A = this chain, B = another copy of it.
């Protein structure tokens, strides 16, 4: 088990953004980039970028910029992307299917090894070669397989019950798309994707003639 991180939550939120831009630069065969160039791409200030990337050691050289591949790999390691995370999805409506289809193409190591639903019309269907199982089977599946991440794309009325099964089944993290907060012990990590809340934020910005995420970025919390 690695040492508990000293990186601030705000930097952690920015890591995947750096990672994504660096990946695009690598795809374009760019080898080095300055903090100023990164700044104009990403929209963070150059000094913010230098400060953030200083967390990860000396990949920037005055006048030469950052070595993109080295920085990409280092950030990937810090993000834990050098490991593989097995995942199961509970709730295979449109959202669950979107996730299943998306992560199938996602190159990093997040294989989906089980898909569950309560709807008899969906049970037995195949999604990316994985057969949808009855959600009743979730507990025994978790006993038999090592699952790192449990994905909840079910109704919010079922979400806590699913989370409890995940916890009993020793998942390490829960990726929760249900519009509710889960009660979990502190050794289980949770990331919520509360889609409706982001729509509400957008309405807020529109109604106040605010500028949305750009403001939030400037405040450094994105």
From B19, B99, B186, contact of A195 by CB (8 A): B99
Instruction: Please tell me the size bucket of the interface on A.
Output: 35 or more
| Complexed CA–CA distance, A156 and B173 (Å) | 28
A200 to B16, Cβ gap below 8 A?
A: yes
B200 to A193, Cβ gap below 8 A?
A: no
A113 within 8 A of B: no
A211 within 8 A of B: yes
B215 to A79, Cβ gap below 8 A?
A: no
Which interface residue of A78, A98, A202, A209 has the most chain B CB atoms within 10 A? A202
| Complexed CA–CA distance, A175 and B99 (Å) | 18
Residues of A within 8 A of B (CB): 1-5, 8-10, 12-13, 15-17, 19-20, 42-43, 78-81, 83, 85, 93-95, 97-99, 101-103, 106, 110, 148-149, 172-173, 175, 179-181, 186-187, 189-216, 219, 221
